[in-house]
């Protein structure tokens, strides 16, 4: 039984749209990237203020760009602390929050804290230091997250094409 050319074209277009959407979600992640580069400092300060980390004049604020992300660290004159990492979308020049920590208690009670960042392109460790001198130390060892995503797509494509070949041979018998 022959399929019409119209059906084959529509099936091809639908397949391309589904693959494009799946790729977009895989590489961009689920969720919006609402902030522009220029907004990041004010967004960080606003979120820190919500967590009662308010600078009344003298504070130490530094930031560091690394890979596909930007990390901010702030310490106020009364000892309150906040740090956050924002990741950039691979498709747009917009950012979203990946990690945020605030307060002088809990995980930030120590003068040094390390956490892992996965910005969608690479994974790495960030060590923030508080006390007399605020500092950000980024690990030189990175995990290539984009390679893992490409490998997953290749394995999935091999599986799909293998099943199609197997079913076509099975149906011919």
- If you write DSSP's letter for every residue of 1-54 in order, what string do you get? -PPPHHHHHHHHHHHHHHHHHHHHHHHH-SS---B-GGGHHHHHHHHHHHTT--
So what's the pLDDT on residue 106? 61
In a domain, 90, yes or no: yes
Do residues 63 and 81 both lie within one domain?
A: yes
In a domain, 124, yes or no: yes
Do residues 16 and 48 both lie within one domain?
A: no
* Phi, psi for 45 (deg, rounded to 5): -65, -40
So what's the pLDDT on residue 170? 67
Do residues 24 and 46 both lie within one domain?
A: no
In a domain, 167, yes or no: no
In a domain, 165, yes or no: no
So what's the pLDDT on residue 47? 93
Average pLDDT over residues 146-158: 85
So what's the pLDDT on residue 1? 45
Two structure tokens written together for 50 = 């919500």
Distance CA 154, CA 112 (A): 40
So what's the pLDDT on residue 41? 93
Q: Is the pLDDT of residue 97 over 60?
A: yes
Do residues 24 and 94 both lie within one domain?
A: no
Do residues 133 and 58 both lie within one domain?
A: yes
Do residues 20 and 70 both lie within one domain?
A: no
pLDDT digits (tens, 9 = 90+) for 36-94: 999 999 999 999 989 888 877 778 889 999 988 999 999 988 888 999 999 999 888 89
In a domain, 173, yes or no: no
Give the domain range for residue 77.
37-143
In a domain, 81, yes or no: yes
pTM listed for this prediction: 0.81
So what's the pLDDT on residue 105? 65
Do residues 4 and 77 both lie within one domain?
A: no
Do residues 60 and 44 both lie within one domain?
A: yes
Do residues 21 and 81 both lie within one domain?
A: no
Do residues 59 and 84 both lie within one domain?
A: yes
pLDDT digits (tens, 9 = 90+) for 112-145: 989 999 888 889 999 999 888 899 999 989 888 8
Give me the number of domains the chain comprises.
2
Do residues 49 and 12 both lie within one domain?
A: no
In a domain, 148, yes or no: no
In a domain, 96, yes or no: yes
Q: Is the pLDDT of residue 29 over 80?
A: no
């Amino acid at each position: 039984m022959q399929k019409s050319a119209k059906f084959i074209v529509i099936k091809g277009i639908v397949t391309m749209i589904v693959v494009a959407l799946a790729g977009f979600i895989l590489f961009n992640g689920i969720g919006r990237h609402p902030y522009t580069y220029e907004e990041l400092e004010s967004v960080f300060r606003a979120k820190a203020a919500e967590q009662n980390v308010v600078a009344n004049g003298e504070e130490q604020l530094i930031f560091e760009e690394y890979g596909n992300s930007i990390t901010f660290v702030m310490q106020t004159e009364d000892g309150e602390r906040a740090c956050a990492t924002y990741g950039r979308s691979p498709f747009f020049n917009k950012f979203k929050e990946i990690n945020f920590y605030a307060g002088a208690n809990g995980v930030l009670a120590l003068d040094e804290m390390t956490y892992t960042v996965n910005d969608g392109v690479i994974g790495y460790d960030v060590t923030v230091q508080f006390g007399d001198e605020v500092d950000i130390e980024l690990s030189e060892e990175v995990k290539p997250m984009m390679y893992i995503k490409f490998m997953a797509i290749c394995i999935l494509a091999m599986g799909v094409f293998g099943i199609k070949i197997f079913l076509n041979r099975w149906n011919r018998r």
